[in-house]
Amino acid sequence: MLELFIYYRVAAAEAPQALATVQGWQAALRLRHPGLQARLLKKHPAGEAGVETWMEIYAARHDGPDLVAELQAELVEGPPLYAAGTERHVEAFVPCAW
């Protein structure tokens, strides 16, 4: 299973609008990629005043090269909702084979 982790910072004042944007974005991704699991977390404790760090987590059961490339391209772009001076960071992980 492939898991993608995307983290970025959001201005706290824009959090309600950003939440609606991310939820819509994740719903659209799940429609385009059946079986895709999507979550949204925010860092606790919040840290810097007025800014929140958010993390989107996506898990895909099928991790063929086409799906990986397609998801990474979509997720790097993402909705434009980060705090000024920040960007989306995308990292991909797969289970360890022990």
Question: H helices of the chain, where?
Answer: 15-32, 65-77
Domains and CATH numbers, the chain: 2-93 (3.30.70)
Residue pLDDT tens, the chain, 98 long:
778 898 888 888 888 988 998 898 889 888 888 888 999 999 987 777 888 999 999 887 765 667 667 777 777 666 666 666 677 777 878 788 87
Beta carbons of 57 and 75 less than 8 angstroms apart: no
